[in-house]
Amino acid sequence: MPPRSFAGSLAVISLPCLAACGSAVSQPQPLVVLAAASLQEALQVEADAWAKQGHPRPILSFAASSALARQVESGAPADLFLSADEEWMDTVQKAGDLRQGTRRDLLGNSIVLIAPRASAAKVDLSRAAGLTDAIGNGRLAMADPDAVPAGKYGMAALEHLGLWDALADKVVRAENVRAALALVESGEAPLGIVYATDAAASDKVRVVAAFPPGSYPPIRYPVAVLATSRNPQAASFEQFLESNQGRAIFARYGFGTAK
């Protein structure tokens, strides 16, 4: 074959390879989202809806907001942080780990007292004796009130109602709100304090009482893009969560708007 034809054949063979290689390089990478444990069901559906629009499905990592904030401070590679309270987001922001101008208050929630589905427990939250009698020799399951948002809200409500001193020694401190939920689901704890959305996500528990509004600080879930994110889709996914479609999904799982 003459040299000219040979060179032309090489070009024809190489072009598809170059096109394929270029396509692989430009392929968008999935977002990494650090999210509070109470968002598990709702955020999975949000991720599916985002993927249906042609985006790579985000990689979701769930834990207590306190644990996630420490991961961010330690340099964990991620793009978005969704916290179950403002305090841990404040901590991350003060450390300079948020992209300026991207923080938003996304969702609202409430806390409730739960019991196993088969339990006949009835509790009047206005009486300490009623709650301690319902617990008996068991324990009150809560996320760790020293660090985890759901536990802090629960402790604030019990203090407001004058019940904390009588119950502090009966509290079993779980690593996050879903761990507290699991203790009640399994019957290891006769009562627990979780978010209303957690109770709604389980068919193994029932709500015994709702803590009155004003007995604990407003529950707000802030979201922000992390300063170290290099994924161009980070801001777009945050906007999707705030969109009518995103908010409708959250509402389906019991989340309200931040107040």
Domain ranges of the chain: 32-108+219-252, 111-210
Residue 195's φ and ψ, nearest 5 degrees, are -70, 150
Close Cβ partners of 199 (under 8 Å, ≥ 6 residues apart): 112, 114, 181, 205, 206, 207
Q: Residue 111: is its pLDDT beyond 70?
A: yes
In whole angstroms, what is the distance from residue 72 CA to residue 89 CA? 10
What's the whole-number mean pLDDT along residues 152-172?
A: 94
> 111-210 belongs to which homologous superfamily?
Periplasmic binding protein-like II (3.40.190.10)
* Predicted structure pTM score: 0.86
Distance CA(3)–CA(24), nearest Å, equals: 32
CA distance 197 to 200: 5
AA identity, residue 111: I
* SS3 of residue 70 by DSSP: helix
Band (159; pLDDT cuts 50, 70, 90):
very high
CATH architecture classification, 32-108+219-252:
3-Layer(aba) Sandwich (3.40)
pLDDT tens, position by position, 202-259: 999 999 999 998 999 999 999 999 999 999 999 999 999 999 999 999 999 999 999 8
Which comes out higher in pLDDT, residue 169 or 20? Answer: 169
